[in-house]
Copies of this chain bind each other. A is one copy, B any other.
Amino acid sequence: MKIVTAKKILVANDQIASRNRDRFNRAGVLTVNIVGSPGCGKTTLLEALFAKLGGRVAPAVIEGDLASSIDAERIERLGIPVVQINTMGACHLDASMVAEAVEGIPLDHVKVLVIENVGNLVCTAGFDLGEHLRVVILSVSEGDDKVAKYPTIFRKSDVLVITKTDVLPNSNFQVDRVKEDLRRLAPNARVFLVSALADQGVDELADWIVESAATPR
């Protein structure tokens, strides 16, 4: 496992993001940027998702965290190529960190590259990493008012995955409220409801990933 430490950003982020995207396109790799609050279930969702891909597409992961390599170790245990970025306190990944981390990914053998951003429902919204799709995660535990309270990140995402749906019966979380708030901000965003624990909705999400990877870019 490679561990990259964040350096000062010297070139404008968008320019580097475009270069990253060109590189992913040349390699035929679909890149997905996963954003969401700390503890919303990003890594757990990836673990469940990868078990469902069944060899249909080869995944790799870039993990972003302030400190530690806890998440990368979880992915490495699955035998999936992974690079850990430690941002040394920075609140989001940027395109230059991803450009450096990609050096540790065997792109020729990969079809889907998942970038798990720092747990942050605010700052990750402002930085294009060169991804093709941005997926925002909201766990049922966080409450159904989060789309209204943190609109920017939901407006800038292609897909919303509502996680931990197994606790829905014991909560006052209203999926319809979330969908309605999202429709105002991102009318074309797709919504998936998933419980990694109860194995609900993971197949649908895996199928969508496989389809998206096969779509010409």
Contacts and interface: CB of A to CB of B under 8 A. Distances in A.
Interface of A: 37-39, 65-68, 70-71, 89, 91, 118-123, 139, 141-143, 145-146, 148-152, 164, 167
A3 to B, nearest CB: 14
6 tightest Cβ-Cβ pairs between the two chains A and B: A39-B142, A141-B141, A91-B122, A37-B38, A38-B121, A37-B37
Q: Which of A118, A121, A122, A151 has the most CB of B within 10 A?
A: A122
B68 A119 contact: no
A164 B170 CA distance: 13
A47 to B, nearest CB: 13
A79 to B, nearest CB: 21
29 contacts: A37-B38, A37-B39, A38-B121, A38-B146, A38-B149, A39-B139, A39-B141, A66-B150, A66-B152, A67-B151, A68-B145, A68-B148, A68-B149, A70-B148, A71-B149, A89-B122, A91-B91, A91-B120, A91-B122, A119-B149, A119-B150, A120-B120, A120-B122, A120-B123, A123-B123, A139-B141, A141-B141, A141-B164, A167-B167
